[in-house]
Structure 1
Amino acid sequence: MIMASIFDIAGSAMNAQMLRLNTTASNMANADTVSSTEKGAYRARQTVFSTVMDNAAGGGVAVPRIVESEAPVPKRYEPGNPMADADGYIYASNVNAVEEMANMISASRSYQANAEVFSTTKSLMLRTLQLGQ
């Protein structure tokens, strides 16, 4: 494997994890939002990763799409809420804060691991160049 492709793989993985972190942050920011309709309620989003296999370039990680959660949207009876529908119900987001925090920790650690791969590869390349001196 060419050393440059290691940088490409680690870089693509870091980009994918950054997108995952941004999606998780968006979910956390919308965790307490409500809507007057079930259709208008915020639904948690998740990144979908895929492997990129390319014999010429090596490979990497891609994010082909971001999907919405299929979990049901909670419905609460709050007739005094200005967002309530005609029957007095509001619809909250289906974001699970505990799952999102675990997702955030996982994405952060994966990002850090790929940054370490990047750094170690750079150090090994520099040491290899110094062998000839």
Structure 2
Amino acid sequence: MANELGILIEDRLLELGWSVSRLTLESGLSADVVVDLVGREQLPAMPDAHTLRQLSTSLDLPYRQMVVAAGVACGLPKNQEGEPTFALRFATNQELLNELRRRLVRGHGDAGSQHQRRTHLALVKQVLAHEAG
């Protein structure tokens, strides 16, 4: 059984009609790297950002999707929404703001939504302050 990242890569290769050889040419990654990511049941470590960006660009998939799939492939725990809990470390400020907006709209009718909005706003302010400092 393949890992989450391997499944994502294989599915996209099928959609594009590409072989692993074509992916190595398009991405600039070695065949050993690609085969290692696709062939393992679980990844022993998180692939580096360069590798994930090359895959994202060449497969025309969102970088965040690649990061999340790689995190799951490494066996990292997921949060309530099914994403690895580390995913924020790879998020840009714009992605954080977009996620905040999405959560605010989704949680608008919830009883605890006021508290959630304040918590999310505090998190975004903290990230923006960290980026500015």
Scaled by the length of structure 2, what TM-score is found? 0.23
Bigger Rg, which one:
1
Scaled by the length of structure 1, what TM-score is found? 0.23
Larger fraction in helix: 2
